[in-house]
Structure 1
């Protein structure tokens, strides 16, 4: 196994917790971890707690993350606990800590699937998002640089997509912990942080930093290959709300929303075609 393969994950587990690997480094600051890695670690803790409780009959339906302190590139711990358990649901809380201080927290609801209701309900009209053409992508299972589409067509050249068009992305999730297989829930929970990219990336770069992630799902993803397409973006007085459709190869599975603060002093400028390590 070569060094590049060995390092291909957000974290490496150690006796003290989880040590961030270089891929976890944010573009905002060299000593800061990006939200994809933090969210993935929270999702792993939540999924583990559901498994320990023996509730493999449930699927993740709601996931909320508060990113209220910058997570640094240091040893990190994560834990989760069940708050409420019933026949059709489990509600959980999780935290990520560094040096004894909570830097992020999450809440999740896992629900029991059943049959669909028979009544007719309104749904948004229009074309649903789909992945890039298969002949342009690596073989399924291979990791790749995230693909984007915007005012420019699908490509993995970031410089092409620094524009004011509607952004979408297609990604294969990076494993959360070295040596572990990424699950579909960990994949969608981590990639959901890229909602900030598809909703806040404009003609001058990414000028907002998200403070949270909200994810709502109607089913578990069909794999660890997932996409996000901007559905809306509204902003006022330096506060922005961005919403994206979440989809896999089968279709749309839910929505993701981020609340962000203007961060123009540290704009992430991707016009030169810089390839992010995972996300901002």
Structure 2
């Protein structure tokens, strides 16, 4: 195992908690972590709390993260607790802490699957996103730089996609903790932070920083390979709301929404390309 492979995770576990690895570094500031890593750690804590409660039959249906304080590149802890448990659902809260202060929090709802409802309900027209062509991607299970499509076709060249087109991305999730496999829920919870990339990335770069992540799912992803496609972007007076479709190799699985603040003093300019570490 070479050094690059050894470091290919967001965190390494230690006696004190979790130590962020170089991949967790934000594009906004070198001493801060990006939301992909923070959200992934929260999802890991939530998923473990569900497992410890013996409720593995439940599936994640709602996941919300508040990113209200910058998470720094320093020792981090994460914990989760069950708030309400019933026959068909479990509600949980989770926090990420640094130096005794909460820097992010999450809430999640896990639901029990059942037989489908019999009635017919309106659904959006059948214009659904699909992954990039399989023959251009690495073998499933191999990690790769995130792919994007916009006004330009699918590619892993960030510079090609700094435009005002409708953005979408296809990614293989990075393991949250070194030595652990990334579960499908951890994958979608972490990649959901890239909603800010596909909805806030325009001709001048990424000019908004998201303060939260909202994820709603109808089923668990089929793997740790997932995509996001912009559905909408609305903005007023420096506040933006972006919504994206979430999809896997077999079709759509839900939506993700981010609320963001204009951050033009620290615009992430990707026109020259970047060594991807996750989302901004």
Q: Do both share a fold (TM > 0.5)?
A: yes
Spell out the pairing of 1:1-280 with structure 2 (5 A cutoff): 1-280=1-280
Q: Deviations over 1:74-130 (max 9, x none)?
A: 000000000000000000000000000000000000000011101110111141000
Q: Deviations over 1:139-170 (max 9, x none)?
A: 00000000000000000000000000000000
CA distance in 1, matches of 2:123, 2:140: 31
Misfit runs of 4+, over 3 Å: none
Q: What is the deviation of 1:277? A: 1.2
Q: What is the deviation of 1:276? A: 2.4
Q: What is the deviation of 1:273? A: 1.5
CA distance in 2, matches of 1:176, 1:130: 25
Q: What is the deviation of 1:275? A: 2.9
SS of 1:110's equivalent in the other structure is strand
Q: CA RMSD in A?
A: 0.5
TM-score of the two chains, using structure 1 as the length reference? 1.00
TM-score of the two chains, using structure 2 as the length reference? 1.00
How many pairs align?
A: 280
SS of 2:60's equivalent in the other structure is strand
Q: What is the deviation of 1:278? A: 1.2
CA distance in 2, matches of 1:71, 1:157: 28
SS of 2:216's equivalent in the other structure is strand
Q: Deviations over 1:13-39 (max 9, x none)?
A: 000000000000000000000000000
CA distance in 1, matches of 2:97, 2:63: 19
